[in-house]
Amino acid sequence: MRAYIIRRLIGAVPVAWGVVTLVFFIIHLTPGDPAQIMLGESASAADVEELHRQLGLDKPILTQYISFIGGVLTFDMGASIYTGKGVVSSIFAVYPATLSLALCSMALAIVVAIPLGAMAAARKDTAVDRGAMFASLLGVSTPTFCAGPLLILIFAVELGWFPASGRSGLVSLVLPSITLGMAMAAILSRLTRSTLIETLGEDYVTAARARGASGRMVLFKHALANALLPVVTVAGLQLGALLAGAVITETIFAWPGLGRLTVEAINARDYPLAQGCVLTIALSYLMVNILVDLIYAAIDPRIKYQ
C-alpha cells in the first residue's frame, strides 16, 4: 500500500507540472496588459514601463516561467499583482470556505442519493422507483443559477430561516450546500440504482437469498457494497469539481471560495494569483483521485495494490 501511494504521488508530479506550464503560457498569451489595467488607460508609457519592471513583466517569458517554477518548488508563488498580498496566503484564506462547502454538499448528496437509489432498485418498476427517478431527473435538470435564487427567495427572503449570502457560521452553509448537493444527489442516485439493479442479478445474490437471507441483508450487505465502486468513482470526481470551486454558486451566495477568487484573478490579469489558484485546483483533483483509489480497497477487499 505504501509503495502504491508513493508511486501515485510521483506520477502526480508531471501532471501538476503540465497543468502549471499550460496555464502559465495561456494566461501570459491572453490579450491585455496587467500593468495598463492596474494604472488605467490614462497612465503614461513611463509609468507602465516602471510597473512592468517592478512586477518582473519586462523579463523574457521563459525567464518568468523558470522563476515561477522555482517559486512553486519553494512554496513561494509571489504576491498578487492586484492586491499585493501573498499568493499562498490569499489561497489559504479562501480554501477552507471551499472545502467546507464541498464536503457539506458531498455529505448531503450521499445521504440522499444512496438510500434513494437503493430504494428505487429494490422496488424496480413500481411507483416508488418512478417517483425516485422523477425526483432525480428534476434535480439534475435544475441549473444552479435557477435553484440558488429560488432557495434564497423561499428560505431567506420569505421565511427568513437562513442567511441569503456570505459565510457566517454553519447556518450559512445550508442553502449553498443544498444548491450544489441537489444535482450531485440526482446523479449519484441514478447511478446507484442502475449498478445495484445489475448487482442484484448476480449469482452470489441469488445464492444468499437461497440460504434464507432477508431482503434487507441481501440488499445492503451483499449487493450494495459491491455496487458502490462506480458510485465512489463519480463521487470522487464530483468532489474534485467542487474543490475546484463552484463559481456560479459561490457568486450567487457571495461565498468567499477558491472558484470566485480564480475568476477574479483571471479577470484582473493577476498572473501569480491565477497560477496559484489553478495549481491548487490541480493538486486537489490529484489528491481526491488518490483518496478514491484507497477507498476502493476498503469497500472491496478483493482489490489489491501491488
Q: How many CB atoms lie within 10 A of CB 296?
A: 16
Indicate whether 306 belongs to any domain: no
Q: In total, how many domains does the chain have?
A: 2
Tell me whether residue 94 is exposed, middle or buried, using C-beta atoms within 10 angstroms of its C-beta: 0 to 12, 13 to 18, 19 or more.
buried
Average pLDDT in the 194-220 region? 71
On whether residue 305 sits in a domain, the answer given is: no
- DSSP states along the chain: -HHHHHHHHHHHHHHHHHHHHHHHHHHHHSS--HHHHHH-TT--HHHHHHHHHHHTTTS-HHHHHHHHHHHHHTT---B-TTT-SBHHHHHHHHHHHHHHHHHHHHHHHHHHHHHHHHHHHHTTTSHHHHHHHHHHHHHHHS-HHHHHHHHIIIIIIIS--S-SSS--SGGGGHHHHHHHHHHHHHHHHHHHHHHHHHHHTSHHHHHHHHTT--HHHIIIIIIHHHHHHHHHHHHHHHHHHHHT--HHHHHHTT---HHHHHHHHHHTT-HHHHHHHHHHHHHHHHHHHHHHHHHHHHH-TT----
Same domain, 126 and 77: no
Q: Is 165 left (phi over 0), alpha (psi -120 to 50) or beta?
A: beta
128 vs 213 pLDDT, higher one? 128
Report the pLDDT averaged over residues 268-278: 79
Task: Please indicate, yes or no, if residue 304 is contained in any of the structural domains.
Answer: no
Res 212: pLDDT: 65
Would 272 be classed as within a structural domain? yes
Mean pLDDT of the chain: 78
pLDDT reading at 164 higher than 60 = yes
Provide the pLDDT for residue 71. 79
- Hey, which residues does 79 pair with through a beta bridge? 86
> Which residue among 26, 56, 87 closes a domain?
87
Choice among 31-35, 119-123, 278-282 with the minimum mean pLDDT: 31-35
What is the domain range of residue 205? 94-299
Residue 145: CATH number of its domain = 1.10.3720.10
What's the pLDDT at 32? 67
The answer to whether 152 touches 252, Cβ cutoff 8 Å, is: yes
Decide: 240 and 283 in contact? Cβ < 8 Å: no
Residues 15, 133, single domain; the answer is no
Q: Which of 69, 87, 105 is a domain's end point?
A: 87
Q: Which has more pLDDT, 152 or 271?
A: 152
Examine residue 230 and state whether it is found in any structural domain, yes or no.
yes
Residue of higher predicted confidence among 205 and 189: 189
**153 belongs to a structural domain:** yes
Check residue 306 and give its pLDDT. Answer: 52
* Residues 133 and 241 occupy one common structural domain: yes
Assess whether 101 and 31 both reside in one domain. no
Is residue 250 domain-shared with residue 155, that is, in the same domain? yes
pLDDT of 272 reads: 79
Q: Which three cell numbers stand for residue 2?
A: 505504501
Q: Is residue 118 domain-shared with residue 200, that is, in the same domain?
A: yes
Q: Which of 53, 68, 87 is the last residue of a domain?
A: 87
Lowest mean pLDDT among 66-70, 86-90, 293-297: 293-297
Say yes or no: 142 and 249 in one domain: yes
Q: Are residues 17 and 109 in the same domain?
A: no
The answer on 155 and 67 residing in a single domain is no
In a domain, 163, yes or no: yes
- Nearest alpha-carbon partner for 273 in 59, 92, 119: 92
Give a yes or no: residue 237 inside a domain: yes
Confidence bin at 158 (pLDDT 50/70/90): confident
The pTM (predicted TM-score) of the whole model is 0.76
Statement to judge: residues 52 and 176 lie in one domain = no
Residues 267, 139 share a domain: yes
The verdict on 245 and 108 lying in the same domain is yes
**Nearest alpha carbon to residue 236 among 294, 276, 179:** 294
Element (H, E) at 225: helix 224-243
